[in-house]
Amino acid sequence: MRRVKEEIRKSIWSRLLAERVALPPFPIEGRIPNFRGAEAAARRLVESNIFQDARVVFCNPDTPQRYVREAVLRSGKLLIMASPRLRKGFILVNPRNIPRAAIPRASTIRGAFEYGRFITLDVPPIDLKVAGSVAVDTYGGRVGKGGGFSDLEFGILRTLGAIDDSAPIVTTVHDLQVVDGVPMLKHDVPVDYVVTPTRSIKTQRKYLRPEGIYWDLLGEDYITSIPILRDLRRFSKK
């Protein structure tokens, strides 16, 4: 299955480049790819009820979702992002603490470090989770860039009780990133909505969300290298 997912990634990266819809940063291989229309896809999401009804939004830190993060802050909502590779846990950005002119910068990972604060186990309840994707299907299947961090973030949030089944999970992608099918394992997190520059898709979700962190799938070295995982394991054992 890992080989199939990697083939899907390579196919999407190549297609975005061939169709000239890929945007910097380059190379796009190994990344959640930026694309022409990312702002339009974000605007379509922002106009939806699932965004309007949310007060706390968790969003990935990748380039194509920067417009979503900026809209979260401009709307007065709390923004939560993951620090790179979860080394410093999560970052909470409160727009009340940011000058209006600084919101565009605060929506970037560097700006979030400047204007936000790091949190670990004290994550507020999340109303909406936005994930970056390399490819998705209409059944909720999703492929990321291969690091597994988006799925791990969800597992952490679920274990903490910061997200439940009532919180929609959505991704913004180019239309070319919507594929016929994506293989999914028990720790992979399905999406409820796919938003592109031209349409919004409520997926026919046929996959269950992970129940939390599957510790047996994580090596000891991996756990000890990420402080929030070490803390959460101690927390879970209490």
pLDDT per residue as tens digits for the range 64-74: 999 999 999 99
* pLDDT higher than threshold 90 for residue 97: yes
Domain at 2-237, CATH from 3.40.30.10, 3.40.50.720, 3.40.50.10420, 3.10.129.10:
3.40.50.10420
* pLDDT higher than threshold 80 for residue 230: yes
pLDDT on residue 33: 98
Token representation of residue 47: 């106009």
Residue labelled with tokens 């000058």: 99
Tell me how far apart the terminal alpha carbons of the chain are, to the nearest angstrom: 36
Whether 84 and 109 have beta carbons less than 8 Å apart is answered as yes
Dihedral sign for Cα atoms in the order 92, 93, 95, 98: positive
pLDDT on residue 238: 55
pLDDT tens figures, 30-86: 999 999 999 999 999 999 999 999 999 999 999 999 999 999 999 999 999 999 889
- Mean pLDDT over 141-165 rounds to 95
DSSP state letters, 210-225: P-S--GGGS-HHHHHH
Residue 152's SS3 state is helix
Whether 202 and 193 have beta carbons less than 8 Å apart is answered as yes
Spatial distance between the Cα atoms of 67 and 104, rounded to a whole number of angstroms: 9
Residue 163's SS3 state is coil
Structural domain spans, the chain: 2-237
Cβ neighbours, 10 Å, residue 48 = 16
Spatial distance between the Cα atoms of 125 and 135, rounded to a whole number of angstroms: 27
Q: CA angle 163-166-170, nearest 5°? A: 80
Residue 139's SS3 state is coil
Residue 19's SS3 state is coil
Nearest to 98 by CA among 113, 84, 86, 83: 113
* pLDDT higher than threshold 70 for residue 237: no
CA distances from 142 to 39, 73, 163, 183, 199 (A): 21, 26, 19, 8, 17
Q: Is the peptide bond before 27 cis (omega within 30 degrees of 0)?
A: yes
